[in-house]
Amino acid sequence: MKAELETGLKVKALHSDGGGEYTAKHVQQYLEDRGITHKMMMADTPQHNGVAEWLNRTLLDKTRAMLSDANLPESYWLEALNYAILLHNISPSKSLGTTPTEEYTGTKPDISRLRVFGCVAHVYVPAHARGKLSARSMACTFLGFAQ
């Protein structure tokens, strides 16, 4: 698992709502082979998982606000959500006393490249792709950073 490779720690349990993507036989076998306990919540009872539901609501609120502020259509929801997650992970957490990124990696996150979601961003146009008098950059909309 990616988390194990990145941290050197072993995943002990997987919590899920019993959705089909985690109850398939091959997934159950994968978890069992690695000694990972699968803990399932009752279906359709989000109140049993308050922390995750609170985070989902917070991220959805941020996504909605960023799309509205940038005057972008809902079709850009994934880009807005990814940026909201990035902002969440580099923001200080009262419960952690640090940022989630710092807690996970042990290093402070670099915030020097942050920009406002939906702002104008200029992208360089290489000489071979433009005419002699053409602009050297193209105005675009900032939608976040590449994975």
Task: Kindly write down the DSSP assignment for every residue of 34-48, as one continuous string.
Answer: TT-EEEEPPTT-GGG
Helix, coil or strand: residue 116: coil
pLDDT of residue 41: 78
Distance of alpha carbon 81 from alpha carbon 83, whole angstroms: 5
- Measured CA to CA, the distance from residue 127 to residue 96 in angstroms comes to 49
Q: What is the pLDDT of residue 129?
A: 95
Mean pLDDT, 10 residues at a time, the chain of 147 residues: 82 81 86 89 71 87 98 97 96 91 91 96 96 96 93
Strands 37-40 vs 13-16: parallel, antiparallel or unpaired: parallel
pLDDT at site 46? 66
Report the candidate in 106, 100, 60 with the shortest Cα–Cα distance to residue 80: 60
Residue 53, pLDDT score: 81
**Domain extent listing, the chain:** 1-43
> Is this prediction's pTM over 0.85?
no
